[in-house]
Structure 1
Amino acid sequence: MFTGIVQSKAQVLSAQTKHGVCQLCIAVDKQYAQQIELGASIAINGVCLTVVEQQSLDETLDKIRFDVIDETLRVTNLVSINTGDFVNYERSLKVGDEIGGHQVSGHIHAMASVTNIENIGDNRSVYFELAPSQQAAYAKYIFGKGFISINGTSLTLGESVENGHFNVHLIPETLTRTNIGDLKVGDNVNIEMDQQTITIVSTIERMKLQLD
């Protein structure tokens, strides 16, 4: 379980496929890599991955490796990760930790593409469109002021929501701390819907069917 509060951007050292598995290696600031055990869960761009190796690179950075299977590559933007890219990094939630965002599972529901970017002073509005093949299944869970996770970042949806199109407003801290600030028109992002929203909408749909 995660909070959607990204702790750091981590740089991709390599992403090599061997025997059908992508070995993804990232460089992480040591302050965010302390006491990580092999088998621990970490969200990378919002995708829950398992640590399979960790080693020190220098006085400030650790290398962490994950094995990413074909199914994960098929449904997330990790398939297009390249050496030198930056990914969002969040360690799993511990009992007693503050939940500053919303509860995020690390299981991606859909992908969306960036359609427009507007800069207003130091703030930014980014517009997205769900993949057309996924709009029928997931657009109903997206509404103004609701929660959404984009590349593992907990965000509040803006007012522009219609038929799988939506936007978010970003403050300078989010732009600096996460790779949302690096997005360009046409880039794909990982989307996880808010589980509470899914539960409420699904319950209402079932009740409506029963009444009909």
Structure 2
Amino acid sequence: MFTGIVQTQATIFSVSDQGSFRHLVIKTEPQFLQNLAIGASIAINGCCLTVVEFNDTQVHFDVIDETLRLTNLGLLSEGDTVNLERSLKVGDEIGGHAVSGHIHCQGKVTKIDTSGNNVAMWVELPEQYTPYLFAKGFIAVNGASLTVGQVDANYFSLHLIPETLRLTNLESTQVGDSLNIELDQQTITIVETVERVLAKRQ
């Protein structure tokens, strides 16, 4: 479980295909890796991965084909920047919203408007996920807990303040980029429950 509060950004040090999976090595600051253990969970661009090896400044992950297909981790190359968050511990503050680290889909950035220090970003989702999009609802984008702005068909907007841009790789996002999207599980549960109840009444 995660909070959607990005703790740091890190650099992809190496990417190598090893049979049925891809091996990622990420370079980050030592303090982020304090008290880390093999088998621990870290969210990379919002996708929960298991630590298989680490040292003072690097952490290693094995990523299966299905994860590469469903997320933007399959697009990563050496030098790219990713958002990182360590898994939630009992007693930690949930500064964003409850995030599982299980990506539902990728969203494509279709428009970016800059006004002063603020950025409005429009993202296109696959149509099957639009029933779970609501203005002012929670959504995790590349692991960052954000609030949906406007919703128009299968497009939604994000309004990004300077602090969010500074702390995440959304600052360098461009039109055409793919973002990892995790929808709010509570919203999904409510929508699907209502749909089942209405279907039974028909």
Q: Give the unaligned 5+ runs of structure 2.
A: none
CA deviation after TM superposition for structure 1 residue 45, in Å: 0.5
**What is the identity percentage for the equivalent residue pairs of Structure 1 and Structure 2?**
54
Tell me the residue number matched to 1:87.
Answer: 82
Whole-angstrom CA distance in 1 between matches of 2:12 and 2:135: 34
2:166 aligns with one of 170, 173, 176: 176
Report the aligned-residue RMSD. 0.7
Matched position secondary structure for 2:166: helix
Is 1:150 equivalent to 2:141 in the alignment? yes
Distance 2:178 2:140 in 1: 13
DSSP-derived class of the 1:174 partner? helix
SS in 1 for 2:182: strand
Correspondence for 2:153 = 163
1:124 maps to 2:119: yes
SS across alignment from 2:52: strand
Equivalent-residue separation in structure 1 for 2:153 and 2:120 (angstroms) = 18
Instruction: Give the TM-score taking structure 1 as reference length.
Output: 0.94
Q: Which runs of 5+ in 1 are unaligned?
A: 57-61
Q: Which residue of 1 aligns with 2:98?
A: 103
Corresponding residue number in structure 2 for 1:3: 3
Alpha-carbon deviations, 1:57-80, whole Å to 9, x = none? Answer: xxxxx1000000111001110111
SS of structure 2 residue aligned to 1:37: coil
Q: 2:52 — aligned with what?
A: 52
Give the structure 2 partner of residue 59 of structure 1: none
TM-score of the aligned structures, taking structure 2 as reference length: 0.98
- Paired AA for residue 199 in structure 1: T
Alpha-carbon distance in structure 1 between the residues aligned to 2:66 and 2:183: 19
Is 2:178 the counterpart of 1:192? no
One-letter amino acid of the counterpart of residue 183, structure 1: T
**In structure 1, how many angstroms separate the alpha carbons of the residues matched to 2:122 and 2:72?**
17
Structure 1 residue aligned with 2:110: 115
CA deviation map 1:23-50 (0-9, x unaligned): 1000111111100000000000010000
CA shift at 1:20, angstroms? 2.2
- How many residues align? The count is 202
Give the CA deviation at 1:198: 0.3
Q: In structure 1, the residue corresponding to 2:28 is in which secondary structure?
A: strand
CA shift for structure 1 position 87: 0.4
Q: 4+ runs of 1 displaced by more than 2 Å?
A: none
Give the AA of the match of 2:159: H
Three-state SS of the structure 2 residue aligned to 1:210 is: helix
Is 1:26 aligned to 2:18, yes or no?
no
Distance 1:70 1:51 in 2: 17
Deviations 1:87-144 (A, max 9, x none): 00000000000001000000010111000001111111111001xxx31x21110110
Deviation at 1:209, TM superposition (A): 0.7
What is the alpha-carbon distance in structure 1 between the residues aligned to residue 29 and residue 188 of structure 2? 35
1: CA distance, partners of 2:31 / 2:50? 19
